[in-house]
Homo-oligomer: A and B are copies of this chain.
């Protein structure tokens, strides 16, 4: 958080085509910024790989990760308001709206107005959605296993514990 950057403006503004080694005074004061070692970059790449695994295992007509997350929270047959479902799955109102709309188009969820609160839209799985869940959960377990396959079981649990603390 205290990245002291004092006087290396010239070091960055060097001529373009100069391949000369630029090692001067900045070495000790300001270590190089290596993008590939930053948390954000590593998380983005790890998630790209995870999403690729997700799509491969779920198949072309399977749900996306967020669609599956919404379905998983409804898999016990619960009927939940759209915004609340969004909070349970870490999606903001605008995002969950689109996710639910696409699930509804495919006949996996249905929406109806809440009789007790006219602002609310209640969402639940259809019979078709309920029937699909056991197979989807089985695939989801395979996805988790494949994502974590480069790590041992202990390493996997350590990773999950560390990630859980970053929120």
The interface size bin for chain A is: 35 or more
CB of A101 closer than 8 Å to a CB of B: no
Kindly supply a per-residue 1/0 record for chain A positions 10-45, scoring 1 wherever the CB is within 8 Å of any chain B CB and 0 otherwise.
111111101000100000001001010111111111
Contact of A13 among B13, B43, B131 (CB under 8 A): B131
CB of A162 closer than 8 Å to a CB of B: yes
Q: Is the CB–CB distance between B5 and A137 below 8 Å?
A: yes
CB of A75 closer than 8 Å to a CB of B: yes
Q: Is the CB–CB distance between A13 and B144 below 8 Å?
A: yes
A12 to chain B, nearest CB (A): 5
Q: Is the CB–CB distance between B139 and A1 below 8 Å?
A: yes
Hey, which chain B residues are within 8 Å of A166, CB to CB? 45-46, 49-50, 147-148, 150-151, 159
**What are 29 A-B residue pairs whose CB atoms fall within 8 Å in the complex?**
A1-B139, A2-B142, A8-B142, A9-B138, A9-B142, A13-B144, A13-B145, A16-B78, A16-B161, A18-B77, A30-B137, A35-B69, A40-B47, A40-B50, A40-B143, A41-B90, A42-B163, A42-B164, A44-B65, A45-B90, A45-B163, A46-B163, A46-B166, A47-B47, A49-B166, A150-B165, A158-B158, A159-B159, A162-B162
